Structure 1
Amino acid sequence: MKKILLLLYFSVLLPKTYAQEYFPNNESVQNRNTNFTAFTNAKIYVTPTQIIEKGTLLIQNGKVIGAGNNIAIPKNCMIINLDGKSIYPSFIDMYTSFGIEKPKGITSTERNPLYDTKRSGYYWNESIRSEVNGYESFKYDQTKAEELLKAGFGVVGTHVQDGIARGSGTLIALNNFDKSTQLLSDKVTNHFAFTKSATTNQAYPSSLMGMMALLRQMYLDLDWYKKGNATTKDLSLEALSNNEKLVQIFASEDKLNSLRAAKIAKEFGLNYVLKGNGNEFERIEEIKKTNSKFIIPINFPEAYDVSDPNQANQMELKDLRFWNQAPTNLKVLTDNGIVFALTTDKLKKLEDFRPNLLRAIKYGFDKTKALEALTTIPAAILGKSNEIGSLKTGSLANFVITSGEIFEEKTIFYENWVQGNKFVITDITIKDIRGDYDLSVANQQYKWKISGDITAPKSIITTIDSKKVSSKLTVSNNWISTVMKSMDSTKTTFSRLIGYIDDIQLLSGKAILFNGNEVKWSAVRTAPFIKPIDSLKLEKNNMIIPTTFPNVAYGNLKKPTTQTLLFKNATVWTNEKDGILEETDVLVKNGKIASIGKNISDASATIVDAKGKHLTSGIIDEHSHIAISNGVNEGGHNSSAEVTIQDVVNSEDINIYRDLAGGVTTSQLLHGSANPIGGRSAIVKWKWGASADEMLYKDQPGFIKFALGENVKQANWGITNPTRFPQTRMGVEQVFTDYFQRAKEYDVAWKNYNATGKKGKGKAPRVDLELQTLAEILNKERFISCHSYVQSEILMLMNVAEKFDFRVNTFTHILEGYKVADKMKEHGVGASTFSDWWAYKFEVNDAIPFNGPIMHNAGVVVAYNSDDAEMSRRLNQEAAKAVKYGNVSEEDAWKFVTLNPAKLLHIDDKVGSIKVGKDADIVLWNTNPLSIYAKAEKTLIEGVVYYDLQKDEEQRVAIAKERNELIGQLLQEKNKGMITQEPKKAEKKEYHCDTLEQ
């Protein structure tokens, strides 16, 4: 009986709902609306800067007909009054994988490396997948579309996120009602990334430098292919050619990788849109210089739970700092005039997008710029400004209806219209019943407080004597239903209140009491709803830690600059014929050593009292692997001469600062020893805080790493079924012979073409970066530094070199060099060795600590190197071992780590000694630099102080203070109930010759 009465009651009141001016939202009854629809009295954002107050938006057939204050409304037009509400263009996310299944990785049975492609008719490397088209594997995902629609998005770009060259992306309208119009453009973007394809076990490339080399070779091959030089069709290169006019998007995913991608773009005259990481603010000067447009995620890191001090202490300062600084990234980009769009990519859940965006706004990101980054900018980048991103006449009718300003926390998203089809987010007809009421039910009086959200109100009912009555409130389609729960000593009873919301000042309806009786109820509003003050909004923003150069521990607030310094009364180790000079002055000016002598004066110089201290040239490490990003080995082929460490210098590695603290000013960063012919090296000066390009030694001579022994034949790789040639030491010799013969023929082909072919007498040879590099060796334009141990192989490589009429420049490690020192002297090769490493693997069993001195005494140029991040900080002590083990003089021993490596690197005209006119790369020591008690007090590079012992002590105090500040902020976040994550210790991989990327 009660149910019947309730249904009758609803049937009487239900017709009132038909007064609303809205179409049904059921797909089964939705027909395409070809009539005009006018949205009146709204605040209309035609664009982020063109705003119409109390305007009318007129749409028809999924497009905007007009927007303004004097829009003529046609007859038979559906009119929707949006008084007090706002209309914004729907958002655009141009970087997603919406509707595209993640490519499946290879199975465990296919893990053994593949060295040749299995594909026929495509490019030789399976990570070049430019022939892939996103639209071909696209399947509309209605569930995901609804998530995006609720967040305000109307259009997304999507593509297959797999491989280095990933193929074309498509543009999709999130139209859940009309599948025929969802595809806006089948091919709109062309995608690239520094990521191998998950679908191949092809060994190459295995490193970041390999990926960059592959991209260069791909573009060179494309140019050669387009000119008609190829004899067979390549579907991958065909696709690259066909997609050249599309928007080129590169997923760099990191600030330094953005700079690397921009470098490739500049080399080939390309214009990449760079999909960044959110850390661009840390290198904003270099980012700005790229002149690139960006796509920026806003996946800010969650606060760390640092309540456990032991866990907190494991965290690196840079990670704590990034949590603090990340919300400022969008403001910094805007302040520097960088054009960018926003993306939901990399968010754990889509619901985080809006809170993160509001957080960025709280930290200074301009609201108008935020709207541009979601509408007009992505539309312009995509070349679709006439269709999407605005509400100009002719644009698609893609818009969001909100309760107010779109970037206010309290604002409600009501509806998202895409191509003129409505998606309901929140019922726009719902009335705000929140507030305080006097409730009367069957002559019983109560106080009723309704709070919470408009769409999910909360109910608190109390009796006149302030006893709480348990209640539950639901609102749907403006019907209100409340259950009141009462308890006495014997039982629990329920009363149900039902009513239709006509007037929020007076709520009324029928109540079904616990005994079945029906009575009237009413609630008179006594006070409006006052939203509780958001404690988070009241709180000030966290104090933002200033960005440093680099933005890690021991970074500088300002980049250091060249100084004029006068070192007075030092013991100067000149490394020249003058030897060691006592009580001598050295003037540093304009980055050079300007004067050496007694009683020097310069009014512009800062005086450094060096009495009792020692001044030397900076240490030079001929063989280092620090400061390299994502792989020291490109071991996917037995030759990787095309790759270069110069592409992957990591200018933010803390080991740079540690090297400076040990007096190291210059290092050669070498490829590892995974293959006989490795990659090209980078000679760098450790200018802490500068960019990677600024660290590269200017006009540096070309070097390349070769290797012999166990590593190159994969003896220690642990591969189940090694198949890559060579597998023996005799195979290593054959690799060298074969590649140099090929390089010789390649060089001849190009010389012949340059002599005759350019005049139209022949097709151009294919540019091969690998063979081109090897040809430079044959032409004595590039020099070999070879990883070596065993005397037989040392002799073998010298024989191969002499056969092809060049000389090996340096044997590095060379722990059996003492056995063949006479042959080395005869060949003209230098040695860069360890002071006293031995027996750490089989081929080192014959190593002795007298190796370096024996080679030195035989007339070989000898250097000591580190090959190790820890050892490079104490190469001064390694040099001292030459005195201990071989009775080498102190001056000559010091040259083992200064002038001699400079000679091996062909840079001794600029560095390696203290001589007027040379670069002011010098170190001030507190005592004899060969002493175990020696400390570097100042380390200069080109007259700039990059390390200062006194400043270092001050920085340690400042770092401890900063950590405490950040930990305090994080503890506050946890106390406020914010989501936190467990602290993670950053596992830093230290590279050695044999380190392989997984």
Structure 2
Amino acid sequence: MKHLLTGAALAALITACSGAAKEEPKTASSEPVAAFNKDPYPSTYRAYPGVVTAITGATIFDGEGGRIDNGTVVMADGKVLAVGGADTAIPAGATRIDAAGKWVTPGIIDVHSHLGDYPSPGVEAHSDGNEITSPVRPEVWAEHSVWPQDPGFSRALANGGVTALQILPGSANLFGGRSVTLKNVPARTVQGMKFPGAPYGLKMACGENPKRVYGGRNQMPGTRMGNMAVNRQTWLKAQDYKRKVAKEPTTPRDLQMETLVGVLDGEILIHNHCYRADEMAQVMDMAKEFGYKVSTFHHAVEAYKIADMLRDNGVCGALWADWWGFKMEAYDAINENIPLMHKAGACTIVHSDDPNGIQRLNQEAAKAMGDGRRAGIDIAPETAWTWLSYNPAKALGIADKTGSLKAGKMADVVLWNGYPFSVYTRPERVWIDGALMYDANDPKRRPVSDFELGQPGEGDVK
């Protein structure tokens, strides 16, 4: 969604999200559930080669709220080997980088992206993020639309320091399909980018989008109460299917139900597009009714109204700094949303939902810090970095692997050429699993997609 959409842009968006209702495809198969492979499209990701590297003299934000001045980060074998002060031991033969006057952070993780599903150039032939043929489409998987050659991936790496990201289906549907978490590396296939061991997500949506897309065709939902009714009826079917499979393992497979049962079993995480506080509260009650958990509410411009409820239910809020007013459910947003959520002790995340915004998430966090300061909520910069790395990792179920600079975790690291919350600062170097993937001082370390290489005059990341 864009900030303050023009009439023409809104009309185009509605057109993109609309389409004639069609007959439900057959999603069941004769293959018994007993033979069900839960990972039929496994990650083939392999880390790029790296060398033992020590970054010295930097100011370090460790991603979990810690700060080290004149610090050292050591990477080896794709992992963080050590993080500490100037006296940190450095292995013999390590490549040393003098980072005096610079900052080191964990790589940024964006929990809400459509890169690859709505790639650049933004033409209709590339519009693969919304399967709008029914309000209930949990059987579709975002990864089956991801185009690895999207130039947006390399822009997010080089301009934004983004090392991992979640690709979501769009928000036309109540149940939009499965998401996938990727490492931000060049690969020939989406499987070569898939974050190893990351759980799947299920994209859901409440509010205006589903009722606008479907309600005009004499098809539920056409109202917010219709949204909830279709949601509840769908979860009832999922519970029934789960009981049926437990009783009779030879039950034919159903791709819709497999995703929903994965949620009920705690294997697939809910990422719910939801703006209004009242609807978020209802969704949390619905989750309790049917025995699942919401990982994160995305956009959530009214999260500040129920920050304590989100905290108490262990639900994250993935938020913008100042987008508002582009539709009625975004009207009651305030710039203090992020700092108020943080002050309440809720899991707070800065996200993009935009191919340009993903390149400037550090600046979005900086705006939120400033808005908080003006409201009397002073948040230290090392604490604010949790919004960009550790909290997103928690929401995606990968915080044990990445999101902070701790020994044994993936060496997903950014060296910034200045204070990372400044609009003048850019990534100088970016490592993913200890491999140097971007170096602003080395044109050969500026990733360019195969698509760009095929275009006259293209190929140089500016």
Cα contact 2:107–2:162 (8 A) shared by 1: yes
Is the aligned partner of 1:113 residue 2:12?
A: no
RMSD between aligned alpha carbons? 3.0
Distance verdict in 2 for CA 1:871–1:596, change over 3 Å:
same
TM-score (norm 1): 0.40
Question: How far off is 1:689 after superposition?
Answer: 4.1
Counterpart residue number, 2:9: none
| Whole-Å separation in 2 of the counterparts to 1:267 and 1:925 | 39
1:880–1:894 Cα contact (<8 Å) kept: no
2:422 to 921, 931, 936: 931
1:725 aligns with 2:220: yes
- Matching residue of 1:894: 385
Aligned counterparts of 1:267 and 1:914: Cα–Cα separation in 2: 32
Partner of 1:816: 302
**Partner residue, 2:402:** 911
Give the counterpart of 1:564 among 46, 52, 72. Answer: 52
The residue number in structure 1 matching 2:74 is 587
1:924 deviates by 0.3
Please give the alpha-carbon distance, in whole angstroms, between the structure 2 residues aligned to 1:620 and 1:657. Answer: 14
**Counterpart check, 1:221 vs 2:128:** no
The structure richer in strand per residue is 1
Question: Separation in 1 of the partners of 2:104 and 2:184?
Answer: 18
Q: CA deviation at 1:855?
A: 1.4
Report the counterpart of residue 602 of structure 1 in structure 2. Answer: 91
Matched, 1:656 2:153: yes
> Structure 2 vs 1, CA of residues 956 and 864 (structure 1 numbering), >3 Å: closer, same or farther?
closer
Shift of 1:742: 0.7
Aligned length: 416
How far off its partner does 1:824 sit?
1.8
Counterpart among 703, 707, 718 of residue 205 in structure 2: 707
Between the aligned residues of both structures, percent identity stands at: 35
Offset from partner CA, 1:557-590 (integer Å, 9 cap, x none) = xx9522221112111111346x211112211111
Structure 1's 772 and 838: CA in aligned 2 closer, same or farther, altered over 3 A? Answer: same
> How far apart are the structure 2 equivalents of 1:221 and 1:956?
42
Secondary structure of the residue aligned to 1:927 is coil
Who is 2:103 aligned against? 614
- Separation in structure 2 between the aligned mates of residue 601 and residue 774 of structure 1, nearest angstrom: 48
Q: Of residues 668, 671, 695 in structure 1, which corresponds to 2:166?
A: 668
- Over alpha carbons, which structure has the higher Rg? 1
1:632 and 2:135 are equivalent in the alignment:
no
Mark the CA change 1:955 to 1:774 in structure 2 (over 3 Å): closer, same or farther.
closer
The alpha carbon displacement at 1:954 in A equals 8.3
Q: What displacement does 1:829 show? A: 1.1
Cα distance in 1, alignment partners of residues 96 and 130 from structure 2: 46
Query: Which structure 1 residue ranges, 4+ long, deviate > 6 Å from structure 2?
Result: 953-957
Q: Which residue of 2 aligns with 1:801?
A: 287
Q: 1:898 to 1:954 in 2, by over 3 A?
A: closer
The alpha carbon displacement at 1:648 in A equals: 2.6
Query: How is 1:843-862 mapped onto 2 (pairs within 5 angstroms)?
Result: 843-862=329-348
Q: In structure 2, which of residues 429, 433, 436 is the aligned counterpart of residue 945 of structure 1? A: 436
Map Cα deviations across residues 489-544 of structure 1 (whole Å, 9 max, x no partner): xxxxxxxxxxxxxxxxxxxxxxxxxxxxxxxxxxxxxxxxxxxxxxxxxxxxxxxx
Indicate how the Cα distance of structure 1 residues 863 and 943 shifts in structure 2: closer, same or farther if over 3 A, else same: same
Q: Deviations over 1:446-479 (max 9, x none)?
A: xxxxxxxxxxxxxxxxxxxxxxxxxxxxxxxxxx
Aligned residue in 2 for 1:838: 324
Q: Would you say 1:866 and 2:352 are equivalent positions?
A: yes
Query: For residues 790 and 658 of structure 1, do their structure 2 counterparts lie closer, same or farther at Cα, with a shift above 3 Å needed?
Result: same
TM-aligned CA deviation for residue 915 of structure 1: 0.8
Structure 2 Cα separation of the partners of residues 954 and 644 of structure 1: 32
1: CA distance, partners of 2:445 / 2:410: 28
Residues 679-828 of structure 1 correspond to what in structure 2 (within 5 A)? 679-689=177-187, 691-714=189-212, 722-754=217-249, 764-828=250-314
Distance 2:429 2:109 in 1: 16
2:172–2:210: 8 Å Cα contact kept in structure 1?
yes
Cα distance per residue 1:618-639 (max 9 Å; x no partner): 0010111112265111111111
1:606 and 1:811 map into 2 onto residues whose CA distance is 42
C-alpha distance in 2 between matches for 1:582 and 1:112: 55
Q: Deviations over 1:664-687 (max 9, x none)?
A: 001111111101111110101101
Query: CA separation of 1:743/1:963 partners in 2, compared to 1, >3 Å: closer, same or farther?
Result: closer
The answer (yes or no) to whether the contact 1:702–1:782 under 8 Å persists in 2 is: yes
Structure-1 separation of matches of 2:235 and 2:454? 55
Name 1:495's counterpart in structure 2: none
- CA shift in 2, pair 1:560/1:747, >3 Å: closer
- More off after superposition, 599-608 vs 665-674: 599-608
Q: 2:352 & 2:363 partners in 1: Cα distance? A: 11
Which residue of structure 1 aligns with residue 14 of structure 2? none
**Distance verdict in 2 for CA 1:766–1:916, change over 3 Å:** same
Which sections of structure 2, spanning at least 5 residues, go unmatched? 1-17, 118-125, 374-378
Q: Give the whole-Å Cα distance in 2 for the aligned partners of 1:935 and 1:700.
A: 28
Q: Aligned partner of 2:20: which letter?
A: P
Code of the residue aligned with 1:913 in structure 2: it is S
Deviation at 1:835, TM superposition (A): 0.9
| 8 A contact 1:714–1:722 mirrored in 2 | no
Deviations 1:829-867 (A, max 9, x none): 111111111111111110111111111111210001000
Query: 1:576 and 1:860, CA in 2 relative to 1: closer, same or farther beyond 3 A?
Result: closer
Go from structure 1 to structure 2 and tell me whether the alpha carbon gap of 1:923 and 1:822 turns closer, same or farther (over 3 Å shift): same
| Deviations 1:265-297 (CA, angstroms, capped at 9, x unpaired) | x969xxxxxxxxxxxxxxxxxxxx9xxxxxxxx
Kindly provide the amino acid, as one letter, of the partner of residue 703 in structure 1: G
User: By how many angstroms is 1:827 displaced?
Assistant: 2.1
Distance 1:835 1:112 in 2: 32
Q: Which runs of 5+ in 1 are unaligned?
A: 1-110, 117-123, 126-213, 225-262, 269-288, 290-558, 755-763, 968-984, 986-998
Give the C-alpha shift of residue 699 in structure 1: 1.2
Amino acid at match of 2:22: Y
Deviations along 1:893-928, whole A, 9 cap, x unmatched?
Answer: 111111111111121111111111110000000111
| Alpha-carbon displacement from aligned partner over 1:398-419 (angstroms, at most 9, x marks no partner) | xxxxxxxxxxxxxxxxxxxxxx
Say yes or no: does 1:574 pair with 2:382.
no
TM-score normalised to structure 2 length? 0.83
Which deviations, in whole Å up to 9, do the C-alpha atoms of 1:193-232 show, x marking residues without a partner?
xxxxxxxxxxxxxxxxxxxxx7xx4xx62546xxxxxxxx
| Separation in 2, partners of 1:954, 1:782 | 36
CA shift, 1:702, in A, is 2.4
| Distance of 1:649 and 1:680 partners within structure 2 | 12
Secondary structure of residue in 2 paired with 1:681: strand
- Output the CA distance in 2 between the equivalents of 1:703 and 1:956: 28
